[in-house]
Amino acid sequence: MSLIFQNLRKQYGSNVATDNVSTDFAPGMIHGIIGPNGAGKSTLINLTAGSYSLTGGEILLDGRRLDGQKKHRIAQAGVARTYQNIRLFDQMTALENLEVCFYATEGGGTWKEVLWPPYEGRQNARRRDRAMEMLRLFDLQSYAGAEAGSLPYGRQRMLEIARALVMNPRVLLLDEPAAGLNHHETAELTERLARLRHPDLIMIVVEHDMDLVMSLCDRIVVMHHGKLLFQGTPAEVQASPDVQLAYLGTSDDIDDIKAAAASRRAKLGLRGRRRS
């Protein structure tokens, strides 16, 4: 059982963002999606999470159709995600950002919580413990009471991943998790993500940072002009003449891509500093 894409197609008017993409993502592995800007990588993430609706094809998680369902239902089915531009609940504390995720399963008990304080006490304590545990996993416990928007940029990235994981998702979609991070933070991120590897978790990382992708991922999907160009292990991807020709081109282009990634980082980094 796994996450399966069948002939995914997303079209905006006459503009085709992804075309006939079919692949599958096995649990227990870290999957990378790479490709130049506009290749349709983020579109795949947004389609899976239900942020965009499909024009054609099917997305199946453990045999169940995900596409066409409401976004919150997809989340409840076990698909968690992070965003390219961090989207935390800025004015809520780091702890609350995680606690609120329990609404999906426990929102129905709200009135019982309001009217019966002992029940609320138990529920709150349990949610708090689970959320704190997750914060500790990401070394964020000292920020628990701080507003999410006031955290340093790098910590906001970590908090967003922690928020995605707090409900034990089946699928974790990371949309450029290293964007805006410095070298040191990227190394920390790589190490943390590697430790998240779990037999039941399907992890998909969209990323421009080639070093991160090549060292972290078990399998890589290469997108080009909305089409799936190649998939395989990092070594196979690096060795593939197709990929080199169409995506990496000559060795000069690798430097171009690295430079583009660096400038992208710098841009997002600026935003991060402004926010904090």
Please pick, from the candidates 56, 69, 71, 137, the single residue that binds other proteins as defined by CB under 8 A. Answer: 71
Q: Maximum Cα–Cα distance for the chain, whole Å?
A: 67
- At closest approach, how far in Å is the CB of 247 from other proteins? 30
Site string for other proteins, 114-133 (x = CB under 8 A): xx-x--x--x---x------
Spatial contact of 205 and 227, defined as CB atoms under 8 Å apart: no
Q: Closest Cα partner for 83 from 154, 161, 155, 183? A: 161
Site string for other proteins, 22-61 (x = CB under 8 A): ---------------------------xxx----------
Q: Closest Cα partner for 24 from 50, 79, 63? A: 63
Task: Report long-range pairs for 189-196 (Cβ below 8 Å, ≥24 apart).
Answer: 189/157, 189/158, 190/215, 190/216, 192/138, 192/158, 192/161, 193/30, 193/161, 194/30, 196/165, 196/172
Please pick, from the candidates 4, 16, 60, 92, the single residue that binds other proteins as defined by CB under 8 A. Answer: 92
- At closest approach, how far in Å is the CB of 120 from other proteins? 7
Please pick, from the candidates 24, 58, 62, 90, the single residue that binds other proteins as defined by CB under 8 A. Answer: 90
Interface residues with other proteins (CB under 8 A) are: 49-51, 70-72, 75-76, 80-81, 83, 87-93, 96, 99-107, 109-110, 113-115, 117, 120, 123, 127, 142-147, 150, 163-164, 167
